[in-house]
Structure 1
Amino acid sequence: MKPVSHLDSYREHATAEAPSVPELTHPWQARLARADGYDLHLVHRWNQAPHVAAFSHRAWALPRWQRRLADHLAGEDVRPLLISWHGRPVIYAELYRAARDAVARCYRARPHDLGLTVAVGELAMTDRGLVRALLPRLTDALFEADPHCTRIVMEPDVRNKRAIKSFEAGGFMAADEIMLSGRVALLMVCKR
């Protein structure tokens, strides 16, 4: 019989508020992505780009992206973000409560754990060290915004070696290979 930890009951019953939009310092800014207009079209276009679609599998039609962004904005689990560098949007990110996501079936998620996905939208902006420069600032801001959060996880496709190297350089450590939505991902963790 498996020993029961007092944390097991806590994990099952505790809840956490929606993730906060991180407050970043210059030259970075983060804001919620809107489900219409410029933001919707930018997120849609970026996710159609071959360098993003190859690993995210989100090359969806515009109406599906509109519904996804609207659902995230109306819910408590996911915050869709546009992250700008020197005033120019360069990264689409989704910040989510890991305990309320499919990734929680792959590791012992705590209620305040955060999950993060990031994609540099424009191919011309890749290989410039943006993600590795952003991640330490972003994780610091996320830990500061939620004092109960002790871990932030990412789950890149195991084939995305470029992203994995950037995430490692940005402070995340590989924990385990996991199966998510029919793909093999690498669970990566940044601890407080």
Structure 2
Amino acid sequence: MLHLDDGFDLRPASASDASTIAAWMTQPHIYQWWEQDWSVERWIQVIEEQAAGEHSIPCMISADGEDFGYVELYRVRHDRLAEYYAFQEHDWGLHIAIGDTARLGRGIGRRLLRSLADALLRADPRCDRVVAEPDTANTPSVRAFAAAGFVTQGELQLPEKTALLMVRTRTVEA
């Protein structure tokens, strides 16, 4: 487990988290953007595949000992996102889903995004940028990334959405 700023904890997701993640993914505020309302069995497979590879690290986020969110940290160079912008070799990307609806609308997202970006930049001295690609229509997500110091670099037309490329650099003062 990795302790982040603002009292957040990050740990690798495991097969035992699949039922929680599967339940979260059916919630309208997540499903609308992720479209991954998969079975528990499929989530077990996805988590195990991610954990075994170099591309993505599936993680659970908690505060005060309670899991409340799912995060995927990924190396952009191994992701299809690399085809859509001028990535740097050590860019990290992230996807986030806050599953505990009681924590929505309280500024948790921006604090968590800031903490995650800071932790990635501290942990990897070769990384100068953390990136995200929220859907342009996902106003709460776009606002949270902006409040966490991510700066919009333009729109990307991905196969499933029009996204904003949002970048948090090492030089941002949080």
Q: TM-score, normalised by structure 2?
A: 0.92
Residue number among 70, 79, 88 corresponding to 2:48 in the alignment: 70
Residue number among 13, 16, 41 corresponding to 1:33 in the alignment: 13
* CA displacement at 1:26 relative to structure 2: 5.4
Rg: which structure is higher? 1
**What is the DSSP-based 3-state SS (H/G/I as helix, E as strand, rest coil) of the residue aligned with 1:93?**
strand
Please name the residue that 2:83 is paired with. 105
Partners of 1:156 and 1:172 lie apart in 2 by 11
Please name the residue that 2:99 is paired with. 121
**Divergent runs of 4+, >6 A:** none
Partners of 1:22 and 1:159 lie apart in 2 by 32
Aligned-pair identity in percent equals 38
Q: TM-score, normalised by structure 1?
A: 0.84
Name which structure has the greater RCO, CA cutoff 8 Å, separation 6+.
Answer: 1
Residue number among 159, 162, 166 corresponding to 1:181 in the alignment: 159
Does 2:15 align with 1:49? no
Partners of 1:95 and 1:175 lie apart in 2 by 20
Q: Which amino acid counterpart does residue 177 of structure 1 have in structure 2?
A: E
| CA 123–26 in structure 1, closer or farther in 2 if over 3 Å, else same | closer
* CA displacement at 1:135 relative to structure 2: 2.0
Query: Where do 5+ consecutive residues of structure 1 fail to align?
Result: 1-20
Please name the residue that 2:169 is paired with. 191
Partners of 2:75 and 2:95 lie apart in 1 by 12
